[in-house]
Amino acid sequence: MEPFTFSSVFGVSINWDFWTWIFQQPNADLIKYLFGVVGWIILALICVSIGSQ
C-alpha cells in the first residue's frame, strides 16, 4: 500500500501508519471531528485568500 500523503494539498507528507494509529485511539471520533473542522477552516481561508487577490 502506498503511503498516504497530503503533499499536493498541504506540502507535507504524512505516513498512512500515523493516521491508522490516530484513528485507533479511544477518542478517534473526536480527532476525526477536529480534523474535519480544521480542514474546512483551511479550505475557507484558501478560498478567501484567492478571492481577495
pLDDT in tens, 3-35: 544 444 454 455 667 767 777 777 778 877 888
Give 2-17 as a DSSP string.
Answer: PPP--HHHHS----HH
Give residue 32's pLDDT: 79
pLDDT at 41: 92
Q: What is residue 14's predicted lDDT score, i.e. its pLDDT? A: 58
Confidence of residue 42 (pLDDT cuts 50, 70, 90): very high
The model carries a pTM of 0.42
Q: Residue 13 contacts by C-beta under 8 Å, 6 or more apart in sequence?
A: 3, 5, 6, 7
Nearest to 14 by CA among 45, 35, 30: 35
